[in-house]
Amino acid sequence: MNLSSRMVIVLTAVGLLSGGFLASVGILTKDRIALNKKMEIERAIVSVVPGSVASVTLYEEKDFIVYGGKNEAGDLQGFAIYTSGVGFQDKIVLMIGADASLSRLNALAVLDQKETPGLGAKIVDRTSFLVYWENKDFSQPFSLRKPPAPSPDSLTASEVNTITGATISSEAVLNIVNAAREKVKALREEGKLAPGGTHAE
């Protein structure tokens, strides 16, 4: 057998074997990876909508999903908004929890971010950032307090803290939340957030 046909045969064989092997690995792990993603979303919904144990998807478009958090009886406890926006380095993905009348923001959860470690990445930390986003007024746009207030009590209901040294990351979260707020309110006006309309608020 001459050299070039040997090269072709060996490379093809290695490629085919590897491809076949990877296809089976892909099939074996696919469901579990999808389940992990789903569970992460579900956990985030339950954490930002107090009293909820399950969720329904009420509205969905690319990178913007509104979930309804429900208690055991199936009553709507509030909305969880999955949304994202540009951070300092990459996309920030948030889950925003609001009550059923969209007048109060319960809490935020950060699902994904690649902000600077030690600075912007503090947006995932409860004590230095997320606690300032709990129980806020959802009826008007949020604004940043800079320099940051020493405790959550010294902020007004629509003010949130800036992380020192990470203004851009703090602003990014603020803008994502404000944009999502506008959007979810508009959707509600249009009557797009009622799932079959059976569950009272």
Partner 1 sequence: MPSRTASQDFLKGLWQENPIFRQMLGMCPTLAVSNAVINGVAMGLATAFVLIFSSFLISLIKKLIPNQVRIACYVVIIATFVTIADRFLAAFFPPISKSLGPFVPLIVVNCIILGRAEAFASKNSPGRSVIDALGMSAGFILALLILSSIREVLGSGTFLGYKIMGAWFEPWVIMVLPPGAFITLGILMAISLQLERKKREK
Residues of the shown chain interacting with partner 1 in the complex, contacts defined by CB under 8 A: 3, 6-7, 10-11, 14-15, 18, 21-22, 25-26, 29, 32-33, 36, 40, 112, 114, 116-119, 165
Shorter beta-carbon distance to partner 1: residue 10 or 157: 10
CB of residue 80 to partner 1, shortest distance in Å: 20
Shorter beta-carbon distance to partner 1: residue 112 or 201: 112
In order of 25, 87, 170, 185, the CA distances from 116 in angstroms are: 34, 10, 12, 32
Tokens of 65: 């999903």
CB of residue 142 to partner 1, shortest distance in Å: 26
For 62, what's the count of Cα atoms within 13 Å in the CB-facing half-sphere? 0
Shorter beta-carbon distance to partner 1: residue 33 or 157: 33
As a whole number of angstroms, the distance between CA 123 and CA 3 comes to 59
How many C-beta atoms lie closer than 10 Å to residue 52's C-beta?
A: 24
As a whole number of angstroms, the distance between CA 171 and CA 177 comes to 10
CB of residue 88 to partner 1, shortest distance in Å: 13
Angle at 135 between CA 174 and CA 187, to 5 degrees: 60
Shorter beta-carbon distance to partner 1: residue 106 or 170: 170
CB of residue 104 to partner 1, shortest distance in Å: 30
As a whole number of angstroms, the distance between CA 135 and CA 172 comes to 20
CB of residue 100 to partner 1, shortest distance in Å: 31
Shorter beta-carbon distance to partner 1: residue 127 or 198: 127
